[in-house]
Structure 1
C-alpha cells in the first residue's frame, strides 16, 4: 500500500514538473510586442501577442524572412533572383528558390484569372516610364513637383515594348527554373510581392502558435486572428484625396488581408497631366479612369495584392463584373465623383465597414 502511495506521489510530482517546464501550471505573462523597420521598399510595422519571449523570437524570424524575400524579389536589387531572371532573358533558365517560383506561378495564374489585366511582365513599361517614386509630401512641395515632371515617352517606344509584355514569354519549368523567352523581357512583381510576403508571415505566425498579430507592409495589411482582447481588428481605409493619409473609413476584420492600391501612391506629372503607375498592358500607357483606390479583403494576401492592382487598371465596371462571380471576395472601391468621392463596397462587408465622416455613405452592391 505504501509503495502504491509513493508511486502515485512520484507520478504527481513528475506531472507537476512537466507542467512547470511547459509553463502550463503558472503561465508566462502574455504581452504584445511591436517592431518597426524598412523592407521591400516600404515601411514595416508588425505587432505580435504571445507569452514570455515568444513575440520577440517570432519578430526576429519575421524580419529575417522579409529581408530574404526582398533580396530575392526586388526588381531594382542587382543580385536578386528577379534581376538574374531578367538579365538572362532570351537565354537559359534560371534556378530559383521555392518562394520565388511560387510567387511567379501565382502571378501567372492571376494574370490568367484577370484576362491579362494583372501582368507580371510589365517590367519594360515600368523601366520606360520610371513611375516608381512615392508621392511627395507637402513638406517637399515645389522641389518635389519639379522632380515629378517628365516628358511623355515616344509612342513608338511604347509600341516597341508591347510584345515583350506578353505573358507567353514567361516559361515555368517545375520545380525550380524560370525563363523569359525573349531578350528584353522583364519580370516586375511589385504588384504582388508584398501580398505574398504578408501571407508567408501570417502562415509563419500560425505555425508558431501566434493567435493575434497585425502585419502592416506599407498599406498591405494582414490581420492574424483577432485583437488580444478578442475584438476584431480595425483597419483604416485611406482617403485617397487626403495628402496626410487620414482614413476615410474603418473596416473590422479577423484572419484576413486588407490590401489597398491607389493613384496617390506613385505618379508622374507630364505636361500638366497626372499619370499613375498602373499600366494597361494592352496599350502600354498608364490608365486614367475614375478609380481612386481599390481595397481587397480576403485571407489570401497574394491574391488581394494582385487584384487591388488589377482593379485599378480595370476601372469600376469591369471590377463589378469580376466580383459578381466571386462572392467570397470583399472589396471597397473609391471613385472620383464631381468634387468629392463615392465609396462602393461588396455586400459581405456590410456591418463591418463605417465611414469616419458621417456625411459620407457607403453604397453596398
Structure 2
C-alpha cells in the first residue's frame, strides 16, 4: 500500500430507474457518503440504507487499523517487521496478516509467479507513483531479481509466523491489500445488515445488493487510454467486485519512453504487451486485485483463456488499439458506450 494517490480506472455510475418511494428517491439522490484519503488513495463509501449511516465511522476506523498493520510504509507495521527480519528470524503476525500473505503465496503459485508479493525490492527501485520514481540501472535490477521468489516465504500455521528466507527480501502487499481490506469491509457491512452500498478503495470496488430502485448497479468502466474520466462502457452488477489494472494508472517517462507500474518479476521491467487495461469482475475483491495484475501480465489471448477457466470470474480487456474483448460470463451485461472503441468477441 504505497503512500500515493492513484487515478481510478473505474467510474461509479449509478443509474436508477423506475418508480421509487420517497425514501428510496432520497437515498438515490443523497446516499450516506464519506470520502477520506487512506492507504495512499481516495476511499469513498456510499450506503443507501436509511438507518445505517452509523456504520460509516466503524468502517473507516477499521480501514485505519488495518492500514497500520498491513502497510509496508508504516514503521513497525507487521509487514514492516517481516521485512526487517528477512533472513534473520520468523515474525509472529495477526490472523488477518497471516491470511493476507497466505493468499499472496497462493496467487504466486496459481499465476506461475507473475504475481509475486516478494516484489518489494523491485518496486522500491522503480518507486513509480511517488516523487522519487526513476528507471533503475540494469546492474540494480540484476541485483534484486534473485530476491523475488514467493516460494521463499515460510509460513508456520501452528505458530502463525512468517519468515523471508533471504536477507534483502521484501514483501509488497500493495497488489492485494486493498482488495483484502475491501472484503473485510463487506463482512462488516453484512454483520450490520447493510443491504445496499458501494465500497470504493481507490478503484477497488465492491457493490453490495441492488440500488434503491431495486435494480443492479450500473458501474462505468473508464477508458484506460485517457486520464480525463471518460468511460468506454457500463456493466450491471450486484454483490460483485470490480477491479482494474492498466498502463496509465501510474507511470513515469524517461527519454521519451513511458514505463508503467505493472512490473515483471522475471525481467524487472514493466510488462509490455497489447493491453492497455484489464477489469476483473469477481466474487471477492482480493481475487480481483491479484487477477487484474496477473491477467494483464499474461496478455490478451493467454489472459482470456485463463479467465475462462476460472469459476465466478470474468474480465474486460482493452487493447492499445481501442479494441474491447469480454469473457463469456458477462455477455449481455456489458454495454459499450464509447464510439472510439470496438467490441470484439461479444
TM-score (norm: length of structure 2): 0.88
- Relative to 1, partners in 2 of residues 1:170 and 1:218: Cα closer, same or farther, differing over 3 Å? same
Using the TM superposition, give the Cα deviation of residue 359 of structure 1 relative to its aligned residue in structure 2, in angstroms. 5.8
Using the TM superposition, give the Cα deviation of residue 108 of structure 1 relative to its aligned residue in structure 2, in angstroms. 0.6
| Whole-Å separation in 2 of the counterparts to 1:258 and 1:325 | 18
Aligned residues: 318
- Residue 354 in structure 1 maps to residue 323 in structure 2: no
- Relative to 1, partners in 2 of residues 1:290 and 1:359: Cα closer, same or farther, differing over 3 Å? closer
Equivalent position to 1:334, from 302, 318, 328: 318
Instruction: Quote the residue 2:137 is aligned against.
Output: 154
Tell me the SS of whatever aligns to 1:190: helix
Greater share of helix: 1
Report the RMSD for the aligned CA atoms in angstroms.
1.7
Instruction: Quote the residue 1:17 is aligned against.
Output: none
- Relative to 1, partners in 2 of residues 1:149 and 1:215: Cα closer, same or farther, differing over 3 Å? closer
8 Å Cα contact 2:304/2:327 also seen in 1: no
Instruction: Quote the residue 1:98 is aligned against.
Output: 95
8 Å Cα contact 2:231/2:338 also seen in 1: no
| Whole-Å separation in 1 of the counterparts to 2:186 and 2:345 | 29
Deviations 1:168-210 (A, max 9, x none): 2211111521111111000001111111111111111112111
Deviations 1:46-79 (A, max 9, x none): 1112243xx2221111101111111111122222
Tell me the SS of whatever aligns to 2:48: strand
| Whole-Å separation in 1 of the counterparts to 2:287 and 2:98 | 16
Instruction: Quote the residue 1:107 is aligned against.
Output: 104
Equivalent position to 1:80, from 66, 77, 81: 77
Q: Which runs of 5+ in 2 are unaligned?
A: 1-22
Equivalent position to 2:243, from 259, 269, 273: 259
Instruction: Quote the residue 2:15 is aligned against.
Output: none
Instruction: Quote the residue 1:188 is aligned against.
Output: 172
8 Å Cα contact 2:308/2:328 also seen in 1: no
| Whole-Å separation in 2 of the counterparts to 1:351 and 1:215 | 24
Using the TM superposition, give the Cα deviation of residue 167 of structure 1 relative to its aligned residue in structure 2, in angstroms. 1.2
Equivalent position to 2:324, from 343, 350, 354: 343
- Residue 246 in structure 1 maps to residue 230 in structure 2: yes
Using the TM superposition, give the Cα deviation of residue 119 of structure 1 relative to its aligned residue in structure 2, in angstroms. 0.5
The higher radius of gyration belongs to: 1
Using the TM superposition, give the Cα deviation of residue 132 of structure 1 relative to its aligned residue in structure 2, in angstroms. 2.9
8 Å Cα contact 1:126/1:132 also seen in 2: no
Tell me the SS of whatever aligns to 1:86: helix
Tell me the SS of whatever aligns to 2:125: helix
TM-score (norm: length of structure 1): 0.83
| Whole-Å separation in 1 of the counterparts to 2:188 and 2:253 | 41
- Relative to 1, partners in 2 of residues 1:95 and 1:148: Cα closer, same or farther, differing over 3 Å? closer
- Residue 125 in structure 1 maps to residue 122 in structure 2: yes
Tell me the SS of whatever aligns to 1:56: coil
Instruction: Quote the residue 2:48 is aligned against.
Output: 49
| Whole-Å separation in 2 of the counterparts to 1:325 and 1:149 | 37
Using the TM superposition, give the Cα deviation of residue 361 of structure 1 relative to its aligned residue in structure 2, in angstroms. 3.2
| Whole-Å separation in 2 of the counterparts to 1:169 and 1:271 | 36
- Relative to 1, partners in 2 of residues 1:157 and 1:291: Cα closer, same or farther, differing over 3 Å? same
- Structure possessing the higher relative contact order (Cα contacts under 8 Å, 6 or more residues apart): 2
